[in-house]
């Protein structure tokens, strides 16, 4: 009998807690904030490259100008796959040059989550073993530049993520955007790779291996975990191997004193995803990447003039508010069902792993708190 009572109590708790959390979310005041989300890299219907942005918008109850909540399936500009996916049909919602000024007046802020794009081999052949193929859609263009400039001219918030400056964005647009934001991309990107063995790895891009092989007699002599650093414009690849070049395999994000004063962020967290190597120039650095290298690793980085510490989050030091997230911060497959539960972030440790190669802890302890606080503070300022 005692066992039955215990089971009943547990079941009641399992039902009451989610229901009460949902009720709490339902009565939570909405936060009006008209946001243009841009994602030019959508290869499936899961919208993985921006679903984390929309989870945060829904959980914090940010709403559009019509008072409705944001929906990740349709409330974004960029590449839109059409159902059924097997037909390979798609639509592209672009910012047209003649619309730039009107859109800048209508929207309160812009969030560019991914501009890498979609290529022929990835979309039609569903593989990249023969290279990316022809670009279908992607990269920043002059219309993006004009729109974002008008947003910043009106002191409206702009947030951008990894691959904002990298190819397929052409050099002229890149330089204009760098001048607009006052930051500089070094031409280098990188990521942690769990297994460098090309035949066994699921996260080692074939095009990166191809660049390396062209310079090394067709050889790729690597296996085990490591970090790859890629200069796509210069067609160079540097491979840092665990144990040989690295004391710690996965890069760390370390929050600066400025970041700790401004935001409720952890001092350190691992980041196993793609990142940019950016020069913040005169802007504020909220957090840095740290690649923990050996003496041999330092020698290799010095050869290519690559730093082992560089900005992960850059915040404007001027009057125009912008935030640059120098990594694939929102590319995380969070489950949308729990976004409407008030207080769900209190139980965040249930959803993440402490394993350094997992991005889950970064998402729950760094990205969500940072993005939520930035948008909440900005929205509150608009209502004053």
Give per-residue pLDDT as tens, 20-68: 665 767 668 899 999 999 999 998 887 677 889 999 999 999 999 999 9
Mean of pLDDT values over 111-138: 84
Asked if 282 and 314 touch (Cβ cutoff 8 Å), the reply is no
**pLDDT tens digit sequence for 206-216:** 899 999 999 99
DSSP string across 132-174: --SEEE-S--HHHHHHHHHHHHTT-EEEEETTSSSTTS-HHHH
Count of domains for the chain: 1
Confidence of residue 13 (pLDDT cuts 50, 70, 90): very low
pLDDT of residue 48: 73
Confidence of residue 6 (pLDDT cuts 50, 70, 90): low
pLDDT of residue 211: 94
pLDDT of residue 240: 98
Mean of pLDDT values over 361-368: 94
Sheet (strand 236-241) strand order: 236-241, 226-231, 184-193, 275-279
Q: Of all residues in the chain, what percent carry a pLDDT higher than 70?
A: 91
Mean of pLDDT values over 132-158: 95
Nearest to 159 by CA among 380, 384, 383, 372: 372
Beta-bridge partner residues of 238: 229
Residue 3, pLDDT above cutoff 70: no
Domain of residue 203 covers 2-383
pLDDT of residue 14: 47
CA 335 to CA 332: how far, in whole Å?
A: 9
**pLDDT tens digit sequence for 311-336:** 999 999 988 899 999 999 998 888 88
Residue 19, pLDDT above cutoff 70: no
CA 107 to CA 205: how far, in whole Å?
A: 36
pLDDT of residue 12: 46
Question: Global pTM?
Answer: 0.92
**pLDDT tens digit sequence for 221-257:** 999 999 999 999 999 999 999 999 999 999 999 999 9
pLDDT of residue 4: 53
CB atoms inside a 10 Å sphere around CB 277: 19
Q: Which two tokens stand for residue 233?
A: 């414009």
Residue 343, pLDDT above cutoff 80: no
pLDDT of residue 324: 98
């Amino acid at each position: 009998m005692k066992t039955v009572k215990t089971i009943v109590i547990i079941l009641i708790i399992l039902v009451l807690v989610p229901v009460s959390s949902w009720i709490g979310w339902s009565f939570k005041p909405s936060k009006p904030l008209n946001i243009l989300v841009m994602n030019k890299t959508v290869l499936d219907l899961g919208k993985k490259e921006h679903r984390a942005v929309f989870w945060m918008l829904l959980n914090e109850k940010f709403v559009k100008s019509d008072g409705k909540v944001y929906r990740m399936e349709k409330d974004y500009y960029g590449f839109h796959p059409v159902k059924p996916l097997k037909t390979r049909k798609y639509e592209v919602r672009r910012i047209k040059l003649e619309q730039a000024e009107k859109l800048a007046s209508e929207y309160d802020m812009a969030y560019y989550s991914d501009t890498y794009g979609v290529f022929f081999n990835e979309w039609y052949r569903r593989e990249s073993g023969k290279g990316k193929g022809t670009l279908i859609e992607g990269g920043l263009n002059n219309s993006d530049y004009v729109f974002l400039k008008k947003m910043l001219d009106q002191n409206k918030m702009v947030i951008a993520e990894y691959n904002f400056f990298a190819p397929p964005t052409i050099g002229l647009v890149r330089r204009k955007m760098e001048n607009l934001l006052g930051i500089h991309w070094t031409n280098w990107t990188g990521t942690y790779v769990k297994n460098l063995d090309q035949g066994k790895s699921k996260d080692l891009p074939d095009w990166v291996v191809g660049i390396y092989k062209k310079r090394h007699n067709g050889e790729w002599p690597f296996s085990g975990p490591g970090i790859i650093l890629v200069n796509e414009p210069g067609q160079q690849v540097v491979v840092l191997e665990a144990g040989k070049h690295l004391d710690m395999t996965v890069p760390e994000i370390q929050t600066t004193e400025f970041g700790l004063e401004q935001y409720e962020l952890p001092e350190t967290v691992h980041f196993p995803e793609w990142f940019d190597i950016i020069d913040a120039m005169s802007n504020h650095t909220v957090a840095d990447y740290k690649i923990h290298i050996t003496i041999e690793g330092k020698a290799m980085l010095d050869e290519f003039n690559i730093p082992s510490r560089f900005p992960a989050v850059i915040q404007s030091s001027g009057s125009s508010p912008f935030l640059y997230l120098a990594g694939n911060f929102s590319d995380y497959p969070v489950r949308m069902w729990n976004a409407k539960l008030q207080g769900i972030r209190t139980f965040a440790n249930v959803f993440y792993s402490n394993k350094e190669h997992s991005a889950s802890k970064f998402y729950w302890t760094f990205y969500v708190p940072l993005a939520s606080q930035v948008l909440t503070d900005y929205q509150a300022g608009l209502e004053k």
